[in-house]
Structure formats: C-alpha cells, structure tokens
Amino acid sequence: MGEAQDRPAGDDIAAKSFEDALAELEEIVKSLEGGRGSLAEAIDSYARGDALRRHCERKLAEAEAKVQAVVDAPGGPTLRDVE
C-alpha cells in the first residue's frame, strides 16, 4: 500500500478501468480493516478509496447509460450514440 501514499488521491484514477479501480479499492478496504499502517496512511488511503469509489460509480453509470441505449429496432437491437 506504500505506493498510494506517494501520490495524491485521484491523480491517476481517471485512467483506470472499472476492474482495476475496484481491485485497488478492495485492497484499500482490506488494509483499513486490518488496521495496518499509521493514522496518516489510513487517512490517505481513505481519501484514495473515496476517489476510487466515485470513479467506479461513474463507470457504472456510463455502462448503464450504454445498456439503456440498446433498443429493439426493426433490424434488431441497435446502439444509439450516448456520448
């Protein structure tokens, strides 16, 4: 978990896939639950975890919007432009 404390929360999160962000968030939760590290590290980890959680929520909302854009058309399902 040392690398999370070497960078500000959120600086590289936007580039992460949902799966990578979720995996890192799970590691942070395990670390916090285990009580490892100092209070300052726990605060930094919590801040990064919160940023990861928000990123995951955005990714899920984007995916939901894409799924909602799939509609039955005369030629079969089509995908409307959602961007």
32-57, pLDDT tens digit by residue?
Answer: 999 978 999 999 999 999 999 999 99
User: What pairs with residue 40 in β-bridges?
Assistant: none
Domain that holds residue 56: 2-79
| Domain harbouring 7, CATH code | 1.10.287
The whole-angstrom separation of Cα 72 and Cα 78 is 7
> How much of the chain exceeds pLDDT 70, in percent?
70
Total count of domains within the chain: 1
Structure tokens given for 23: 């995996």
First to last CA, the chain: 35
pTM confidence score: 0.71
